[in-house]
Amino acid sequence: MTIRREGLPYIALSAFVSAIFTRVRLGLGLLGWGATMFIAWFFRDPKREIPQEEGLILSPADGKVLRVEKTYEDRVGDCTKVSIFMSIFNVHINRAIVGGTVVEKYYRPGKFYMASLLEKTEKNERMILYIKNNKGIFRMDQVAGMVARRIICWPKVGDMLSPGQKIGLICFGSLLECYIPEAISIIVRKGDRVSAGQSILGRA
C-alpha cells in the first residue's frame, strides 16, 4: 500500500517528537510511535478498481452518507446534494465523481465547524470544483472540519478528468458534498457506507 507524499511532513514531525519522548520516558515514546504509525496509516493510498460502466456517478470519498436532498445550485441547476462524512479512520483520497472537464475551481474561506453538523458546515472553509460533461455540470466540495484544516486539490481549470480519478485529499477527517444534476437517478441513501471510486451514487 502506498503512503501519500503529502503525509511525509506529518509523519516526520511525529517521528521526531516520538524519538524525544522515548529518551525522556519509554511509555511516552511508545505512545508517540503509536501515533506516528497511525498518521502513516491515515495517509494510505490503496489501489482501487474503478467501475467502467457508462453513466455512473461514483462516490468521491470513503465514509458515511449523511444527507441526500433536493436543492438548487446556480451552475448545476436543480440537483441532488449528497453529503459524505469521512472520519479519521477512512481513506482520505478523494476521487472525481464523473469524467469531464474542470470548468471552474475556487477556494472559499470559512469556519471550521464539526463536519458532521451539516447545517453549520455551510459556512465551513472549502474547495469547490465544477466538472462538465455531456450529462451537465457537477459540483464537488471538499469541506474542512474541526480537525481537518488542510485541503489539497490537484486538478486545474481545463484539466480532463476520468471517472474515479484521484483529485486530492483533506487532512484528518471531513466532508465531501456533491451536487448532481436532477436528471441523474440517485441510488445511494442516508446512512449508506461508501468507498471512493467504487461505490455508485447514481446512474445517468
Q: Which residues are catalytic?
A: 174
Question: For 48, phi and psi rounded to 5 degrees?
Answer: -130, 140
Ramachandran region, residue 180 (left: φ > 0; alpha: ψ -120 to 50; beta: rest): beta
d(CA 168, CA 121): 20
Range list of β-strands (E), 11-133: 44-45, 56-58, 63-73, 77-86, 93-95, 100-108, 126-133
CA 65 to each of CA 90, 171, 188, 194: distance values in angstroms, whole numbers, following the listed order: 13, 19, 8, 7
- What are the grid coordinates assigned to 33, written together? 510511535
Q: Which residues have C-beta within 8 Å of that of residue 164, sequence separation ≥ 6?
A: 48, 50, 51, 58, 95, 96, 196, 197, 198
3 CB-side CA count, 13 A: 14
